Chains A and B, each alone.
Chain A
Amino acid sequence: MSEASRREVRAGLEPCLARLWRYALILSRAKDAADDLVQATCLRAIERADQFAPGTRLDRWLFAILRSIWLNEIRARKIREGGGFVDADDALSIDGARDIETNILATQVLKVIGQLPGAQRETVLLVYAEGYSYAEAAAALSIPIGTVMSRLATARAALTKLK
């Protein structure tokens, strides 16, 4: 069991990297912090691979690790060090000139999302980008389903103001 767990975790890390980074960016709103967070998550996942149940959702297990590291370690450290957070206007953006027209709307949407409180940003990501059901998101975030509903509604309401 533990050897199977270790092998499955190692094999599954690579395909999850981009999605882990996106989650890390949504939480931290800072690309350097997102890089650190993904690396810390991968290290922790390998260290604790024995705790992974083979055949279950590795991506969600990794997300839970990432979230825990963010809440308990990196965010706390940044606050302690007075690093605070970046200006939300610049926090989530699309780099590069490619597909500029297509990216204008995406950039506007991300700007609005970037200005939402962290809890709302995270809920929006899990449900709308990662396909969590409301119940799964509620369980992952340890909140009632009603809170998931209100967070998503607030986020969508903010986006209705985009023209």
Chain B
Amino acid sequence: MTDDDDADLVTLIDDELDEDRKKVLLARLETDERLRERYEALRQTGAPIAASFDALLRQAPIARLRAGLPLEGPARALSGRFAGIALRDLAAGIAIGLVVAGLAAWVAMSLAPTKGKEDWRSAVVDYTNLYTNETFSPLNPDLPLQALELSAVGARVGANLTPNNIALPGLRFTVAFMLAFEHAPLGVVAFVDPDGAPVLLCIIANKAPDAAMRSEKRGDLSLAWWSRNGRSYLVIGHMPEEQAITLAQTLEKRV
């Protein structure tokens, strides 16, 4: 046996060997016991390698890395967007023709607390439009990592999140991470459909009063949301509105 044999065997294991060499190697494997043993020894290293890299991923100091993101990073962009939305609403609905900046203090004191509870959805809509079918598809955490991410996000927003209770039919969980909106922690649980299209469950600890489920379409996005125990929940994705409601109803019973 040679180093070339190892290379061919590993390439066969990884299903990357071209057809001609594959035929030759498979024929040799049928008759050469030592080669078969070597094939098996090399094959058995695959799972430990994958498990080790998953373990390393769990060591990533996410909070520290997130803190080092540039100011235009996601969490801050989302927080910042609220200011823009509030001012736009003000301009459109109340203060047309007035100097918007001069009313900013009034907005902060009286309008913003009410509007803030509503406008987090607008911010999430803006944000969701930025995600593509490639954003989350490459992420495929193993079960322990899923549990870890969900538990960390759940702790921040005060919800019990586990791989089981967030599992949704036809969707694959990819990642859970934290954003912020108006200083309120906003947890995002990201799924993808079979085409890779993102579907998000967002949970914000915004102290909103309990509210029954509602739904709407915003452009191509469907939203279904409800509030309970000081938290608001939102399911959002490019799908029919009825599907968003069904997913939200499933989660409402479990989360």
Asked if chains A and B come from one complex, the reply is yes
- A66 contacts partner chain B, Cβ-Cβ < 8 Å: no
- A160 contacts partner chain B, Cβ-Cβ < 8 Å: yes
Residues of A bordering B, CB below 8 Å? 7-8, 10-15, 17-22, 25-26, 31, 35, 38-39, 42-43, 46, 54-59, 92, 94-95, 99, 102-103, 105-107, 109-110, 113, 124-125, 127-131, 133-134, 146, 149-150, 152-157, 159-160, 162
Partner of B57, one of A18, A113, A146, A152: A18
Partner of B132, one of A55, A113, A129, A157: A55
Do A58 and B135 touch across chains, with their CB atoms under 8 A apart? yes
A-B contact pairs, 11 of them (CB 8 A): A13-B69, A35-B65, A35-B68, A42-B73, A55-B134, A99-B144, A106-B56, A113-B49, A129-B54, A153-B9, A157-B6
Q: Which residue of B lies closest to A25 (CB)?
A: B56
Partner of A22, one of B41, B60, B73: B60
In the bound assembly, the distance between CA atoms of A26 and B56 in angstroms comes to 9
Interface residues of B in 54-84 (CB under 8 A from A): 54-57, 59-62, 64-66, 68-70, 72-75, 77
Q: Chain A contacts of B138 at CB under 8 A?
A: 19, 57, 59, 130-131
Do B52 and A39 touch across chains, with their CB atoms under 8 A apart? no
Q: Chain B contacts of A13 at CB under 8 A?
A: 69, 73-74
Q: Chain A contacts of B42 at CB under 8 A?
A: 153, 156-157, 160
Of listed A124, A133, A152, residue having the most chain B CB within 10 A: A152
Residues of B bordering A, CB below 8 Å? 3, 6-11, 14, 16, 41-42, 44-46, 48-57, 59-62, 64-66, 68-70, 72-75, 77, 127, 130-132, 134-136, 138-139, 144, 174-175, 177, 179, 190
Q: Which residue of A lies closest to B65 (CB)?
A: A17
Q: Chain B contacts of A7 at CB under 8 A?
A: 130
Do B52 and A106 touch across chains, with their CB atoms under 8 A apart? yes
Q: Chain B contacts of A128 at CB under 8 A?
A: 46, 49-50, 53
With both chains docked as a complex, state the minimum distance between the C-beta of B57 and any C-beta of chain A, in angstroms. Answer: 5
